[in-house]
Structure 1
Amino acid sequence: MGLENFDVIYYFVLLFVAIFAGFIDSIVGGGGLITIPALLACGVSPHLAIATNKLQSVFGSLTAAFTYYKSTTLPHLIWGVFFTAIGAAIGSYGVLFVEDDSLKIIILICLTFTFLYIAFKPNFGKEESKAKIKNIKIFHIICGLTLGFYDGFLGPGTGSFWIFVCVFLLGFSMKQASINTKILNFSSNIVALFIFIWQYKILWDIGLLMGFGQIIGAFLGSKLVLKTKGHFIKILFLIVVALTIIKVSWDYFIK
């Protein structure tokens, strides 16, 4: 299915959905929560929606990564990119063959814990704190493989998980975490995209159209983060995580 099979209105709907998703994703992650349901609502099959979503999300994560470039702590991210890429390759290959219901309940539990922990910890991420994991390689081996796999397998909420672990385990502020995780997000997106190109198919016309929207949204969102102190990030983070919990719960218990 390509754009030639769509009503003209879908061009505009998917473009504006991508702009909004790129804006949100560049700040707190969770863009897939917006774009994948939009693709499904337009009649795209689930696996094809996931594959096409990777194409458009690459543009958003790359734009945010470039915009944040001077503010990132690049040396430690090299390890993160490497292990995240490995995890994403395994996850994106596995999603083509595995039913994801069992994984969804695990994700639901983790998201709920994340939401409750941050909601009831007022100072979480306001300032830098003492790191719980001193060895940065160990952090990236564990989190890179785990979150890279999840991003390749399902995706929605990956950016939110990255922000949480960076604040909780590395002692970053929410703003620091938001900035540093975009390169990791891009690495898992691009690897997953290559796997889907190799093993499956992608709606290139839709993906490129939405990719243009992602560039606009990600640029605006990342510029907003850099120009402010980032105090709004926690509130937006909680909103996105709550919506992700609702979406995953709906998929698991209702559908």
Structure 2
Amino acid sequence: MLELTPANIGLMLLASASAGLVDAIVGGGGLIMVPSLFGLFPQAVPATLLGTNKAASVWGTGWSAWQFAQRVRLPSARLWGAMVAALIGALLGAWLATRVPAAHFRLALPPVLVAVWAYTLWRKDLGHAHAPHLSHRQEALAATALGAGIGFYDGVFGPGTGSFFVFALVRGLGWDFLHASAAAKRLNFATNVAALAWFIPHGHVVWALALPMAVANVAGSALGTRLALRHGAGFVRLAFLVVVGALILKTGWDAGAHWLAP
């Protein structure tokens, strides 16, 4: 069990609210929440910390997805296949994660993130205009393939999943950052549900912490969604660059520590 002192709970509520705000705008809330859980509860079973994180963040992601749906028009029929594929991919990834160490993903992630960040910075017009360039059928197939691939990654390893969804939809389908962020919330919600389908039956959720964290996460998510809708694609693009830059620093540090560890 986790040592649920008032100080630890208070810090996790703050972390959860901050993660909800960041995640609602462009993804990457796990950059805040997961290190906070591991730092405050170093003796806990990792799967329990990850399950508690998912049980809290799924509510903020779901709330943000619903809020975006009220204001941003998406081709919902063409996203259903992507959501199902993301869910199945995450389940398969979670199964594989129990059999394959994540060390290879940890080492490969920083250069991939650097490439995504540099390409977005270089292409200053990327994601400013919403200009889908595929037919309806092609867009549905492409979105399904993206959902399956990134969902699988989320199940196996996970950091930056929301940001990868956003970038893939912007670069692959020609969407702007606002529409891509709105769709990413639906896809990320599906991968979170898939993860919980494994974590909950195996007892890897501490509900006494997850439920108050969920309330804080929804509060942060509501604020982040409002900011994204108010300021549009340019604001979301800037937030994307900041979050991916932070992910590069964090994952690079983790990979270096793993590489230098005896």
Counterparts in 2 of 1:222-237, with a 5 A limit? Answer: 222-237=225-240
**Pick aligned residue for 2:174 from 152, 171, 175:** 171
Given residue 205 of structure 2, which amino acid in structure 1 is its aligned partner?
I
Deviation of residue 136 (structure 1)? 2.1
Q: Which moved more, 1:167-176 or 1:46-55?
A: 46-55
TM-score (norm 1): 0.93
Aligned partner of 2:143 in structure 1 is: 140
Unaligned runs of 5+ in 1: none
- The size of the alignment, in residue pairs, is 253
SS of the aligned residue for 1:228 comes to: helix
State the Cα RMSD in Å: 1.7
Aligned partner of 2:124 in structure 1 is: 122
Deviation of residue 200 (structure 1)? 5.1
Residue by residue over 1:197-224, the C-alpha shift from the partner in whole angstroms, topping out at 9 and shown as x without a partner, is 2345222212112111111011111122
Aligned partner of 1:88 in structure 2 is: 90
Aligned partner of 1:156 in structure 2 is: 159
Deviation of residue 234 (structure 1)? 1.3
TM-score (norm 2): 0.91
Q: Which moved more, 1:125-134 or 1:190-199?
A: 125-134
**Pick aligned residue for 2:219 from 207, 216, 220:** 216
Counterparts in 2 of 1:1-255, with a 5 A limit? Answer: 1-2=1-2, 5-43=3-41, 44-70=44-70, 71=72, 72-131=74-133, 135-199=138-202, 201-255=204-258
Measured in 1, the distance between the counterparts of 2:209 and 2:179 equals: 33
Deviation of residue 130 (structure 1)? 4.9
Deviation of residue 93 (structure 1)? 2.4
Deviation of residue 132 (structure 1)? 6.4
Is the Cα contact below 8 Å between 2:83 and 2:144 reproduced in 1?
no
Given residue 12 of structure 1, which amino acid in structure 2 is its aligned partner?
G
Is the Cα contact below 8 Å between 1:31 and 1:156 reproduced in 2?
no
Unaligned runs of 5+ in 2: none
CA distance 1:183–1:60, change in 2 (3 Å): same
Q: Which moved more, 1:55-64 or 1:71-80?
A: 71-80
Deviation of residue 115 (structure 1)? 0.5
Q: Which moved more, 1:126-135 or 1:160-169?
A: 126-135
Is the Cα contact below 8 Å between 1:73 and 1:180 reproduced in 2?
no
Deviation of residue 133 (structure 1)? 8.2
Deviation of residue 46 (structure 1)? 2.6
Residue by residue over 1:76-109, the C-alpha shift from the partner in whole angstroms, topping out at 9 and shown as x without a partner, is 1111111001101111222233310111233223
Q: Which moved more, 1:191-200 or 1:59-68?
A: 191-200
Is the Cα contact below 8 Å between 2:86 and 2:151 reproduced in 1?
yes
Is the Cα contact below 8 Å between 1:163 and 1:178 reproduced in 2?
yes
